[in-house]
A = this chain, B = another copy of it.
Amino acid sequence: MPEDASPPPARRRRHGGRAGNTRRTGPAIEQMPWRIPINMDRPTEPMPPEGVARMHDAAMRILEEIGIEFLHPEAARILRKAGCTVDGENVRMGRDMVLEHIAKAPSQFTITPRNPDRQITIGGNAILFGNVSSPPNYWDMEIGRKVSGTRAQCQDLLRLTQYFNCIHFAGGYPVEPVDVHASVRHLDVLFDKLTLCDKVAHAYSLGPERVEDVIEMVRIAGGLTHEEFDATPRMYTNINSTSPLKHDWPMLDGWMRLARRGQGLIVSPFTLAGAMAPVTMAGAVAQSLAEALAAVVLAQIIKPGVPCVIGTFTSNVDMKTGAPAFGTPEYMRATQMTGQMARFYGLPMRASGVCAANVPDGQAMWETEHSLWAAIQSGSNVVYHAAGWLEGGLIASPEKFVMDCEVLQQLQRYMEPEIWDTSDDALALDIIAEVGPNGHFFGCQHTQDRYETAFYQPFLSDWKNYEGWEAAGGVWTAERAHARFKAILADFEPPPMDVAIREELSDFVARRKREGGAPTDF
């Protein structure tokens, strides 16, 4: 089992792997239960109806008159056969055809991972949060500087992904383990992801071998036949267009393979206004929509009804430095505008939890808050990078992960309708009369019956007064988060997995490594 850096759970328990942690008696933190949050807030819709119509017309005119480049001959063939005008790699498609095909995509679907209790619903009013994906670098308070990602760090972040109930799916690699050769990296990380987590997993669309390997590993981990795997979504991919106006070969190849297998498909153009898209937000959103819808059309031609999600990653560059900015006012409005269009097209939507900050400080949190509120306000269904992201996605940080999970739990609680219950019991007129103008509510039975569950209880926020906080060491949030991170790792138990399945996964990885893994010429 050379690809498994950590001992399997059974052995770990037998050999006292948690011996260093004997002082702990309870869990590392008290957290909220696993739950799919339902967002019933009316979306924020900056564009009036005529703005939506104009935005739709602009996206359609990009598809009809300008076209999208599909750098995959098979994709171009499929699109030509379906009626598109193909000129080399440039593909143009009429709006009637576009609307006909995207109407086949479901407005809501499920993905079922190896633990069916972790099934997620994408679409409707559900809103799901996932871990940070794909940073090449790592930062934590112990190291105190930016370093290249490693497999051990990736495993730790996968443990956080599994541990927190407010994280609903395991997205891309939470940090790129650059100490593992790129030809076999997907094998090692997917082995780690599928053994350390039992939540919905993602495959990068980086050429046929990686996608096929991940499909096979997800199928094995789920104990599924090929037919069972194909019958309903078990995993998903996310592709980014190469903006402006282009889908590249590796992404399209994975997209088409997962479309054929009926798996979840998310397309998220990365349209930085002023760089890869017009400097005006409406132009950047229109271009993003055209790029996304073109991929949805391709998927629906290949397999009508396959679940597709359109993502937004429209932000702006800092025009002084060219660096991308995140969680800005323009980012928020672009996300809300995309949400209006996703509802117009009847497609689920993906947004992100993002920031430009380099360390988990105040700026990191106000930028992340802005992006998370934009996700809620836009009616987004899938929130990528919702925990652990720093430096515009170039750094993964466990402290930021823990801090974000405190925020995500609060957002999950924010959506629980009992808060705004106006039953007689909640209005409590009898209690107000009983306590009267000279009493207080601490002691009354109405309070005593409810005080343990009435309010959100944080695991990271410190609500002590200054003196209490100072007496406890005067620890700022990021340092407290570091301590929680360490406590969670000490406390972590991988989810159970059948020994035979684990061995089959392990054998698969060993065989594919012997075969050389995947090409690295993408």
B-binding residues in A (CB < 8 A): 40-42, 44-47, 50-51, 54-55, 58, 61-62, 65-66, 68-69, 90, 137, 139, 145-146, 244-246, 273-283, 286-287, 316-323, 325, 328-330, 332-333, 336-337, 356-367, 369-370, 373, 377, 391-392, 394-395, 403, 406-407, 410-411, 413-414, 416-417, 419-423, 425-429, 431-433, 435-437, 439-442, 446-447, 450-452, 454-457, 460-470, 474, 476-478, 481
A415 nearest CB across to chain B (Å) = 8
- Do A461 and B367 have beta carbons less than 8 Å apart? yes
Minimal Cβ-Cβ distance residue in B for A447: B279
Instruction: Give A71's nearest chain B residue, CB to CB.
Output: B437
Q: Is the CB of B441 within 8 A of A277?
A: yes
Q: Given B244, B410, B437, B465, which contacts A436 in the complex, CB threshold below 8 Å?
A: B244
20 sample A-B contacts, Cβ–Cβ < 8 Å, listed by A number: A46-B420, A50-B422, A66-B432, A244-B435, A244-B437, A277-B432, A278-B428, A278-B446, A279-B450, A282-B426, A319-B452, A329-B456, A330-B456, A332-B414, A333-B420, A337-B420, A362-B364, A362-B481, A366-B407, A369-B369
Q: Which of A139, A244, A282, A420 has the most CB of B within 10 A?
A: A420
* B279 in contact with A477 (CB, 8 Å): no
The listed residue (B414, B451, B456, B474) touching A274 by CB distance below 8 A is B451
A419 to B44, CA, bound (A): 14
Docked pose: A436 CA to B416 CA in angstroms: 46
Within the complex, the shortest CB–CB distance from A202 to chain B, in Å, comes to 25
Q: How many subunits of this chain does the assembly comprise?
A: 2
Minimum CB–CB distance from A200 to chain B (whole Å) comes to: 26
Question: A439-B244, A440-B275 given as contacts; is B363 within 8 A of A462 (CB)?
Answer: yes
Q: Which of A50, A427, A460 has the most chain B CB atoms closer than 10 A to its own CB? A: A427
In the complex, the answer to whether B419 meets A477 with C-beta atoms within 8 Å is no
Once A244-B432, A280-B454, A429-B62 are accepted as A-B contacts, the answer to whether A274 and B460 lie under 8 Å apart by CB is no
Contacting residue for A426 out of B283, B406, B455, CB 8 A: B283
Q: How far is the CB of A132 from chain B (nearest CB, A)?
A: 15
Contact across chains for B280 and A426 when beta carbons are under 8 A apart: yes
